[in-house]
């Protein structure tokens, strides 16, 4: 790329964004603004959890078992310590565990979506561009996978992968296996959308112009077609993120996800539901509400993005 005449256009990138239709529609949509703010707060507090959280719930030295089952905003009967959202059975501050749990949930969700995205885009591009038997095999596999509930696929992959990991690494590997399982159960919709868009783009003359000068199929797919099929992918990725967070929580709630040493929101809910009927409602309620707010606002954002990028709904 030559750099001399490109400067003016690049400097005004922000300006172009602020003038764009998308940003205008964003300003007009209270739901979009609110959900963006909520997502931003949750993501930031998850990222900076070690700075915000009053205690490190996974440092055994900082825990006092006497603080167990302290209610929210009430001083503990033995130690006199008070916790914003109470403590669980081991005296861990619920607020801190939520912050750290959200880290795990978001990390698994984002990583799983990225993995599904890379896999889905690659397979979608190849099947759309190459066609023939390659396309048949990839897309029929996708169709078959769609007939199984994705949580079932994820549990299957999780179970198989766990069987192959040595016992001593299981807790460490659990997070990565979780990402693999959710990602593998989620690639289909990326592949379908990208294949459809690729079929449209590859007929366009700019692709023929690139073939004409002897560009390889790989270069054409990567440099010409990929940039033109990405905008629907963005929408699916946002909606998938909410689904991946919920899928992770579901797996963790079922006890096949994040281990108790690295609890996600789903693990916290599973731990909390054991105490619900003995009166310690806060251990369950606060992680559950956090999960609800997180998934809902990501989902609302995705819905808004889908509508905003669809010219037929304007």
Partner 1 sequence: MALISVKALTRVFDASKPWLNRVIERRGKSFLTAVSDVDFEVAERSTYALVGESGSGKSTIGRMLVGLLTPTSGTVEINGVNLATETDARKIDVIRSDIQMIFQDPFASLNPRWRVGDIIVEPVVARGGDASGLAEKLLEQVGLSALDAGKFPHEFSGGQRQRICIARALSSEPKLIVCDEPTSALDVSVQAQVLNLMSDLKDNYGLTYVLISHDLTVVQHMADRIGVLYLGRLVEEASPEDLFARTKHPYTKMLLEAAPRMDGFGREAELPEGEIPDPINPPTGCAFHPRCPISTDICRTERPPMRSLNKTRVACHLAEE
DSSP 93: B
Least separation in angstroms between CB 121 and partner 1: 15
Number of neighbours of residue 59 by Cβ within 10 angstroms: 9
Least separation in angstroms between CB 38 and partner 1: 32
Compose the 265-284 pattern: x for residues touching partner 1 by CB under 8 A, - for all others: --------------------
Q: Strand (E) positions, the chain?
A: none
Least separation in angstroms between CB 112 and partner 1: 27
- Whether 97 and 57 have beta carbons less than 8 Å apart is answered as yes
Number of residues interacting with partner 1: please give it, by CB under 8 A: 24
The footprint of partner 1 on residues 184-243 (CB under 8 A) is 204-206, 208-215, 219, 224, 227-228
Least separation in angstroms between CB 196 and partner 1: 18
Q: Is 7 in the site for partner 1 (CB under 8 A)?
A: yes
- For residue 228 the two structure tokens come to 């033109």
Least separation in angstroms between CB 129 and partner 1: 15
Q: Is 15 in the site for partner 1 (CB under 8 A)?
A: no
Least separation in angstroms between CB 194 and partner 1: 15
Closer CB to partner 1, 31 or 209, in the complex: 209
**Which residues have CB under 8 Å from 230's CB, separation 6+?**
none
Least separation in angstroms between CB 228 and partner 1: 6
Q: How far apart are CA 185 and CA 247, in angstroms?
A: 10
Closer CB to partner 1, 4 or 167, in the complex: 4
- For residue 33 the two structure tokens come to 């603004």
- For residue 44 the two structure tokens come to 């930031």
The footprint of partner 1 on residues 26-85 (CB under 8 A) is none
Q: Is 147 in the site for partner 1 (CB under 8 A)?
A: no
Closer CB to partner 1, 215 or 306, in the complex: 215
- For residue 247 the two structure tokens come to 């899928």
Q: Is 2 in the site for partner 1 (CB under 8 A)?
A: yes
Q: Is 1 in the site for partner 1 (CB under 8 A)?
A: yes
| Residue 87: strand pairing partners | 93
The CA distances from residue 205 to 212, 218, 221, 225, 228, in Å, are: 10, 17, 14, 12, 13
Closer CB to partner 1, 1 or 61, in the complex: 1
Closer CB to partner 1, 104 or 220, in the complex: 220
**Which residues have CB under 8 Å from 271's CB, separation 6+?**
88, 89, 260, 263, 283
Q: How far apart are CA 204 and CA 228, in angstroms?
A: 11
Q: How far apart are CA 32 and CA 90, in angstroms?
A: 39
Per-residue burial over 10-42, b = 16 or more CB atoms within 10 Å of its CB, e = otherwise? eeeeeeeeeeeeeeebeeebeebeebbebbeeb
Q: Is 9 in the site for partner 1 (CB under 8 A)?
A: yes
> What is the contact surface with partner 1 in residues (CB under 8 A)?
1-2, 4-10, 204-206, 208-215, 219, 224, 227-228
């Amino acid at each position: 790329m030559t750099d001399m005449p490109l400067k003016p256009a690049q400097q005004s990138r922000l300006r172009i964004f602020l003038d764009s239709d998308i940003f205008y529609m964003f300003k007009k949509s209270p739901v979009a603004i609110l959900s963006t703010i909520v997502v931003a707060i949750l993501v930031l507090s998850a990222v900076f959890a070690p700075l915000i959280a009053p205690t490190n719930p996974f440092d055994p030295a900082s825990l006092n078992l006497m603080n167990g089952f302290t209610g929210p905003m009430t001083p503990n009967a033995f130690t006199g310590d008070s916790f914003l959202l109470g403590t669980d059975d081991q005296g861990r501050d619920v607020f801190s565990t939520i912050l750290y749990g959200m880290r795990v949930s978001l990390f698994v969700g984002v990583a799983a979506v990225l993995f599904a995205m890379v896999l889905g885009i690659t397979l979608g591009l190849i099947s759309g561009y190459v066609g023939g038997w390659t396309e048949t095999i990839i897309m029929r596999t996708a169709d078959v996978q769609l007939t199984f509930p994705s949580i079932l696929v994820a549990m299957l992959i999780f179970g198989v992968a766990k069987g192959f990991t040595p016992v001593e690494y299981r807790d460490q590997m659990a997070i990565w296996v979780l990402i693999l399982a959710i990602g593998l159960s989620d690639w289909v919709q990326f592949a379908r959308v990208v294949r459809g868009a690729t079929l449209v783009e590859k007929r366009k003359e700019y692709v023929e112009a690139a073939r004409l000068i002897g560009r390889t199929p790989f270069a054409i797919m990567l440099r010409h077609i990929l940039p033109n099929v990405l905008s629907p992918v963005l929408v699916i990725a946002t909606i998938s993120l909410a689904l991946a967070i919920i899928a992770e929580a579901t797996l963790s709630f079922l006890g096949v996800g994040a281990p108790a040493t690295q609890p996600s929101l789903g693990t916290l809910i599973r731990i909390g539901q054991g105490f619900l009927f003995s009166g310690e409602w806060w251990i369950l309620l606060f992680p559950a509400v956090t999960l609800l707010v997180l998934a809902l606002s990501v989902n609302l954002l995705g819905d808004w993005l889908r509508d905003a990028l669809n010219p037929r709904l304007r």
